[in-house]
Structure 1
Amino acid sequence: MKSWSLLLLLAFTSSAFARLGETLQQCQARYGAPVQIQMPTVIFRKEKWSVSVTFFQGKADSISYIKIPDQDDRFAFTENEVEAFMKSNFGERDYNSVPAPRGKGQHWLTKDNQIFSTLYDGVLIFRTRAAVERSVAADKAKADQSLKGF
């Protein structure tokens, strides 16, 4: 029974959830109208999921999933849910678990080093390598600016 549940979840997730590389139009086709647009980030809600998609040059390069709990559900992701989201975003890429920075959360990296994923504090995030590099550069520039004049 458990294997059937996983197969059904994987089949549902592979067609129902945004993937890295998709356009805004493709995301809207999956979810319908966004609940919030503050470009470059667009937020959708589908069933018990809030999905925040950040676009760069017209393509999704960061996707965050948050499970919205109801009375009969828990906030935490199940192992099957994490696997299904990984399949839809990693595709056929192989991946490994990687050490957690500062020991927090769970982290995965595709073997080709192109997609990084984090599960921490109820949020599952997938980011392209380029998105991670831009974020690191922005953080460094902000830190450098805060030290200017010392």
Structure 2
Amino acid sequence: MSLFFCHALPNATKTCKAIRAKMKSKYLNSRVNLDYSDLAFGAKKAGLVEIKSDKDMKEATRVIKYHQEKTLKLSSNDFKRQCPPVHILEKIWKVSLTSEMEFFPENVNGSNDLEGGFKKAAKTTLCKVNVNETLKEGEWRDFFNSYSRM
């Protein structure tokens, strides 16, 4: 739960602090970006790359990340995204706002900041890479064609 409030909703700082204070575990879940490994797995399923082991998957993920960030000078947020449907986002928003108001009823005016952070998250961190659309792009087709010849 703290992962959601502390990372996906960056403006929910008071809720994040309250949840972290109540956590009994000394270890926090860290956010892991799965975009590059999702793309590697999608390329494998599409027959664009051969991945036979965990080692192959890690290497494909590393090379895909390098291509996106160093060659193309983009981040994982620049991939086409596949986001939750509006009705799911509305439910998440209601839970977020309710939690913020429960922990900090005196800060009701801060819901505008929270909503701004949520709207951003609804287009980025709450979404995953759209593997099918990305693999249709010429740049990525060319990349996987050259990668499979390595």
Q: TM-score range by the shorter chain?
A: under 0.3
Which structure carries more helix by proportion?
A: 2
Q: Calculate the TM-score normalised by the size of structure 2.
A: 0.24
More strand by share: 1
Max Rg structure: 2
Which structure has the higher relative contact order (CA within 8 Å, separation 6+)? 2
